[in-house]
């Protein structure tokens, strides 16, 4: 067995790498330079200014007035020009899904009516102290919602009305 292992090692010989043709590298492309914009010619030199007048004079002279214009004045017409049409006020911006004022009031009032009817149908005398506090909280939410509705805060009025309705339904269900 030892002879078989040594025979395998002895028969392996390295082969010379195959000859490959040399790579032909192309010449680099020619460099093309575009001329830049032509510089603008220098402006004509300004002649030197005359010497400044002495500034020791106590009075300064007012500038000379230009000659009177003799252009004819345009004729004025006394035609009555109608006043411009009044511009209608811009519509109130609302987020999508927000009802307009009348629709918002109707939605909130419907929810408040349901909550109030539910709270009125509950017999408070049989409630424990904690349930009585929840009942009072629901009544307070109804009042807060009505106040928000008076301030035209429809979004908060609706949220408060929904909370009051949910709390009233929870109290009735127990």
Q: What is the pLDDT of residues 138-150, one digit of tens each?
A: 999 999 999 998 9
- Vertex 19, ends 18 and 21: CA angle to 5°? 140
Q: Pseudo-torsion of CA 53, 54, 56, 61, nearest 10°?
A: -10
**How far is the C-alpha of 108 from the C-alpha of 157, rounded, in Å?**
7
- Is residue 138 within 8 A of residue 119, CB to CB? The reply is yes
Q: Which residues of the chain have pLDDT under 70?
A: 1-12, 14, 49-83, 90-101, 174
pLDDT on residue 38: 77
**pTM for this prediction:** 0.44
Cβ neighbours, 10 Å, residue 141: 23
| Residue-level pLDDT at 144 | 94
pLDDT at 109: 92
Q: How far apart are the first and last CA of the chain?
A: 92
| CB-based burial, 10-36: b 16+ in 10 Å, e otherwise | eeeeeeeeeeeeeeeeeeeeeeeeeee
Other Cβ atoms within 10 Å of 104 Cβ, number: 19
What CA–CA distance (Å, rounded) separates 100 from 108? 12
* Residue partners of 154: CB distance under 8 A and separation at least 6: 98, 99, 101, 104, 105, 107, 108, 148
């Amino acid at each position: 067995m030892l002879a078989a292992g040594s025979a395998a090692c002895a028969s392996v010989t390295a082969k010379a790498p195959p000859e490959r043709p040399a790579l032909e590298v192309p010449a680099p492309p020619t460099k093309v330079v575009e001329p830049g914009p032509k510089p603008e010619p220098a402006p004509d030199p300004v002649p030197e200014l005359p010497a400044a007048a002495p500034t020791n004079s106590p009075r300064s002279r007012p500038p000379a007035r230009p000659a009177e214009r003799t252009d004819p004045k345009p004729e004025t017409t006394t035609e009555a020009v109608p006043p411009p049409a009044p511009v209608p006020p811009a519509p109130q911006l609302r987020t999508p899904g927000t009802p307009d004022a009348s629709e918002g009031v109707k939605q909130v009032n419907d929810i408040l009516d349901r909550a109030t009817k539910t709270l009125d149908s509950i017999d408070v005398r049989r409630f424990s102290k904690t349930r009585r506090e929840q009942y009072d909280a629901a009544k307070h939410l109804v009042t807060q919602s009505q106040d928000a509705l008076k301030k035209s805060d429809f979004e908060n009025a609706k949220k408060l009305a929904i909370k009051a309705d949910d709390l009233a339904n929870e109290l009735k269900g127990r």
